[in-house]
Structure 1
Amino acid sequence: MFSNKLQALRKEKHLTQQEMANILNIAKTTYSSYEQGKRMPDAATQNKIADFFEVTLDYLHGRNNTPKWANKKDSNDLKRFLEDNDGTFTYGGDDLTEDEKQKLKIAMTQIFWDRHKHD
């Protein structure tokens, strides 16, 4: 999740991996390994990344997938979307566990934001 968010944020700003490495004062190979999911930056570097992109650490780690462009109406639309699709979900005739329901909510939230992007 972190690697995907990092890559997407970098591309949004039209930066190369080398430019990001320079901003973070690290080697390009180190930065590249972050985007490939081979390494995780230390806490100080994660904070630098979050500050640079003006996002939270929760956003970088996929705990809060609300895009920074989202406004209050967008958030209300998401809430309505989740409520409208909050049926009783089953798999093989068995109700989903609370953990499975939470994972499904995360997936539905990501789909909502992907389709709800502002042009």
Structure 2
Amino acid sequence: MPNKKLETLIRSLRVKRKLTQKELANRIGLNNSVLSRIESGNRTVNDSEINLFADFFQVTTDYLLGRTEYAKKFYIK
């Protein structure tokens, strides 16, 4: 997997689900301007926000951070 930047992955996941920035921001409890700055690369994403995105998109934080190519969470029984 190419090492996409976090902001690129967030935008890609949002667009794939046909959400506007405003819709996503409202669903995860962020201000729309914050999400806009994150997607444009003008603001870093803090740890709690990474968790919000991972939970909403049902992907791992490692995937968002470019540490793995596997997007889905695996559960060990």
Q: TM-score, normalized by length of structure 2?
A: 0.80
Equivalence for 1:26: 30
The alignment partner of 1:4 has SS state of helix
Aligned residue runs from structure 1 range 1-119, under 5 A:
1-68=5-72
Q: Distance in 2 between matches of 1:60 and 1:19?
A: 20
Q: Which runs of 4+ in 1 moved over 3 A?
A: none
Give the total of aligned pairs.
68
Listed as ranges, the gaps of 5+ residues in structure 1 are 69-119
Give the CA deviation at 1:22.
0.5
Give the CA deviation at 1:53.
0.4
The structure with the larger Rg is 1
8 A contact 2:60–2:71 mirrored in 1: no
Give me the identity figure in percent.
Answer: 37
Deviations 1:77-100 (A, max 9, x none): xxxxxxxxxxxxxxxxxxxxxxxx
Listed as ranges, the gaps of 5+ residues in structure 2 are 73-77
Deviations 1:51-91 (A, max 9, x none): 110111111011112344xxxxxxxxxxxxxxxxxxxxxxx
Q: Distance in 1 between matches of 2:36 and 2:67?
A: 23
8 A contact 2:28–2:56 mirrored in 1: no
Deviations 1:14-37 (A, max 9, x none): 000001110121211100111111
Q: Distance in 1 between matches of 2:69 and 2:27?
A: 24
Give the CA deviation at 1:41.
2.2
- Report the aligned-residue RMSD: 1.2
- The AA in structure 2 aligned to 1:50 is A
1 or 2 for the larger relative contact order (CA 8 Å, sep ≥6)? Answer: 2
The structure in which a higher percent of residues are helix is 1
Q: TM-score, normalized by length of structure 1?
A: 0.53
- The AA in structure 2 aligned to 1:22 is N
